[in-house]
A and B are shown apart, each in its own frame.
Chain A
Amino acid sequence: DAGITQSPRHKVTETGTPVTLRCHQTENHRYMYWYRQDPGHGLRLIHYSYGVKDTDKGEVSDGYSVSRSKTEDFLLTLESATSSQTSVYFCAISRGAGNTIYFGEGSWLTVV
């Protein structure tokens, strides 16, 4: 168990509503990531963080924002959810570049 907790694990929300997913780690790892998993696409990077208040965009960042005010927490926000954001979202952590990346158990989000 890599010490990663994602919440909520399952959520159904309506189009146009804001949604925040939380990733909490107990490992004190520097790097944190948000990926989404969709059939036929594998996992795609949404945003990542390389330290407190240090974040950057991944390949599919449109419609998402993130914040990292503490080492242990990395929040992913959908400002106005759309059906195309229905997906499984995975948080991941790493001690540093070149180190193993550990994944959380995922958050299933359905936008209706």
Chain B
Amino acid sequence: GNSVTQMEGPVTLSEEAFLTINCTYTATGYPSLFWYVQYPGEGLQLLLKATKADDKGSNKGFEATYRKETTSFHLEKGSVQVSDSAVYFCALSTSNAGGTSYGKLTFGQGTILTVHP
């Protein structure tokens, strides 16, 4: 079956530090990969996505590259801000034998990021 493993948190950084949150996956077929962000008290928002190997997703200064050879999709940001404090989820979606996935997502456990001024 499908699974997603994220690095253990919480992660605590100072403002302007470099961020990496590791994500690896196991999936049948060729998954699409996602990073979602959840701010306190809110639902999840799509941060970025990549749908095929070597694709790079990017948004708001965050980047992640779909690495098929290492089954990874690590999230990076060169200079974090206090406003980036949130929970980050790596997720994947695959198609079934009929070519449909219904968009079902498999999530990692989430990584709490706290950024201090």
Could you list which residues of chain A lie within 8 angstroms of chain B, going by C-beta atoms?
A: 4, 31, 33, 40-45, 48, 50, 56, 58, 90, 92, 94, 96-106
Contacts and interface: CB of A to CB of B under 8 A. Distances in A.
Interface of B: 4, 6, 32, 36, 41-46, 49, 51, 89, 91, 95, 100-110
A40 B5 CA distance: 11
- Prevailing SS type, chain A contact patch: strand
A8 B49 CA distance: 31
Contacts of A96: 103
21 contacts: A4-B43, A31-B103, A42-B6, A42-B107, A42-B109, A42-B110, A43-B44, A44-B107, A45-B106, A48-B104, A58-B104, A90-B44, A97-B101, A97-B102, A97-B103, A98-B32, A101-B105, A103-B36, A103-B44, A103-B45, A106-B43
Nearest to A45: B104
